[in-house]
Structure 1
Amino acid sequence: MNRNNFLKSILVGAFASKLDVSQAKSFILPADAFTLPELPYKYTDLEPNIDAMTMEIHHSRHHQGYVNNLNKAVSENSSAAGKSLESLVKNISKYNTAIRNNGGGHWNHSFFWKILSPKATTPSDKLQSMIVRDFGSLDKMQTEFNAAAGSRFGSGWAWVILQNGKLKICSTPNQDNPLMDIAEQKGTPVLGIDVWEHAYYLKYQNKRADYVKAFWNLVNWEQVEKNCKG
């Protein structure tokens, strides 16, 4: 076993062990329980930009962990019962830390999977015009976005949001997002990237910038445009 495979085996074991413990306590799920969304592509389809092992762990372990823990947190909080995920997120200040972290984790990842695509796409003329209007060019938007993703200390996300009809860039810590009523920069997310280490460490190790650069090869611009329309 070479060094990279040895490191991967340790990391996979650590991730699995940590998440299995959090999911160990089972309870009866209500009919309206949150569920893990299926991906519109296979774990292997985003290679070489994101490797299959990272995708499998990220989706089936990390995201599933957020879903499981959110359902548990909601079951223990009567004021959250029956609320939609979007309603929980938009009014997150009313709820406890468990709902904030896991509700944000579920919403953010559900959003993230949709804006990734193994098929190369480009912005439509309409979306390109919006980008030029608000950033000057697509290159300038990418540079600003990359800077936000790279400078987010620790775990978090970088976003392109629609705020008062204009595109802006911001970042959030942990599993927060711009929809939350506690966000410093509020708006509707149209594009986002997960910069938690679990999103890239198996392939890119500590080279977050390389992961962010590769991300642009996977952006589903058709979905980004749909997000702009609400």
Structure 2
Amino acid sequence: MPNGSLADWLSPESVAPLSWPMRLKVARDAARALAYLHQQMPSPIIFRDFKPSNILLDEKWNVKLSDFGLARLGPLDGNTHVTTRVVGTHGYADPEYVRTGHLRTDCDVWSYGAFLYVLITGKPPISLYLPTNEQHLLEWVGDGKFRLIVDPRINGQFPSQSAQELATIAENCLLRNRDLRPKMSHVLNKLDELIMDSLLETIPPFVLVVDRERVTDRWKVSNEQQSLTIVKVKRKRRFICLPHLGYSKK
């Protein structure tokens, strides 16, 4: 893939860190991929090894899942789980799956929650070279001090509220009670809302549009560089440009 794997960009050796908006995009795209596997296939597919090194980025920074070698069909015919030999990557494998061998789609949901904290902090789930109280990421981030845990390479260039909301999504995915974990489609909806709210916080009150073509309640404008969608947001009394995100309306 032109932009390698997400693990490459989260590595301390990375040439440049991923910006906060790009991290949100990756989180959203990855959630969409898992939601598709879990809920839109003829039979649910459990990825079983969801981690940054298996998330590839194409030339437009779109997420592509790779390495389906450990993937399994989910439970069928009313069964609640598949019993299987435990495999996966330490730090990303659902503890309940490791304990029982019972594989369900919510095992991927737990892995996704661990992945979100890796995305937020830029740290791997287990780092034995760090001080003892920081070696296990999911224990270290539990105090919720977001300004301290967000990847320092971003240099504070992120909305604090956005980081807190992303961490809340992660915490819900990491619930010990598997039945209380959200579906990936629900996670995807939450991330769409989070990205839209982040856009509304940063976009000026009005965007001047020229050469616009009216299409119902939206406008499309194109030039040689890119195509944008202009959407009227009534509750905000303004127009907003949504590059690369497609049409959305609040």
Query: Common fold, TM-score beyond 0.5?
Result: no
- Higher normalized helix content (fraction of residues): 1
Q: Which TM-score band (shorter chain)?
A: under 0.3
TM-score (normalizing by structure 1):
0.27
